[in-house]
Amino acid sequence: MKPLLRIVDLHKSFGTLEVLTGISIEVAKGEKLSIIGPSGSGKTTLLRCINYLEKPTSGHIYIDDELIGEKKADGKYVRLSDRELAKERAEIGFVFQRFNLFPHLTALDNVGVAPRRVLGLEKRDAEEHAMAMLEKVGLAHKAEEFPERLSGGQQQRVAIARVLAMQPKLMLFDEATSALDPELIGEVLKVIRELADEGRTMLMVTHEIHFAEEISDRVIFMDGGNIVEEGPPTEMFSNPAHERTRLFLRQILDR
């Protein structure tokens, strides 16, 4: 079966600092992949390269065999214009660690703004659609609230609804619960779990080892801009092959 997402030899440097040193990953449709690793290992940069929030230094991203962020002309790779890029980004959902809700819009408009302004839905249709998405994350009753009036957990659920509203082929979660107070993590994980059960394709950078073990089909351990090892979660967590993985898991589980 063809992979939905294919990352080929991805490199990323910031100045002289090499953050990603040649990453290749394939993700099948419907697969849930978790990426773990110490901070500074390049996990977040990898995720941000997939939708070109960071431009890769070299390497290529494909979704459904279509190049992302560039096109091929006369055998050469050419970067896409901002507008062309925008179209491709609309198919990739990105959930941020710090939610990044739009503070000047209500929860409903936060969810509806992209369907309206990007997909071109009429105002009423966009609102109806946004309401359905808010219902999905259990926040229909907060539709008229502004983000500042919502708890962190609620904000992140609105952010997830905002991504769902664009019906993305692929969802990227960048440490979606790291900025939350412990008692608010559960409600967000519950929503993510439901999305996983719907058979969505998801890539998660996470520190929630138990959650990753529960819902992922596969786990990747990254360190120093490299994939150190990958495998099914049970195997990886109970019997990691590499010393570095073992060390990291011990540190994170001993907390």
Partner 1 sequence: MPDFWIKLWEWSPKILSTLLNATAMTVMVTLGALVVALVLGLVVVLMRISPLKVLRYPALAYTDVMRGTPALVQLFIIYFGLSDLGLEFDPISAAIVGLGMNGAAYVGEVYRAGIEAIHKGQVEAALALGMSPARAMRYIILPQALRLMLPPLCNYAILLVKDTAIISTIAAPEIMFEARRMVQATFMYAISGQIYLFCAVFYLALTLPLSQVAKRLEKARERWR
Give me the residues that bind partner 1 (CB under 8 A), please: 51, 53, 82-83, 86-87, 89-94, 96, 98, 100-104, 113-114, 117-118, 146, 148, 159, 162-163, 166
Q: H or E segment at 244?
A: helix 243-253
- C-alpha to C-alpha distance for 123 and 167, rounded to whole angstroms: 18
**Minimum gap (Å) between residue 174 Cβ and partner 1:** 10
The CA distance from 149 to 226, in Å, is 40
Identity of the residue, 111 or 236, whose beta carbon is nearer to partner 1 in the bound complex: 111
Residue 186 DSSP class: H
Q: Name the residue nearer to partner 1 (CB basis): 76 or 83.
A: 83
Give me the least distance between CB of 236 and partner 1, in Å please: 29
Q: Which is nearer to partner 1, 85 or 241 (CB)?
A: 85
Count the alpha carbons within 13 Å of 82 in the hemisphere toward its beta carbon. Answer: 0
Q: What is each CA distance from 88 to 80, 92, 93, 172, 215, in whole angstroms?
A: 10, 7, 11, 14, 27
Distances (CA, A) of 202 to 25, 34, 216, 219: 13, 8, 9, 12
Question: To the nearest whole angstrom, how small is the minimum distance from the Cβ of residue 172 to partner 1?
Answer: 9
Nearer to partner 1, 148 or 254 (CB): 148
96 near 53, Cβ under 8 Å?
Answer: no
Smallest gap from residue 84 Cβ to partner 1 (A): 9
Closest to partner 1 by CB, 114 vs 252, is 114
Phi first, then psi, for residue 68 (nearest 5°) are -105, 135
Question: CB 88 → partner 1: shortest distance, Å?
Answer: 8
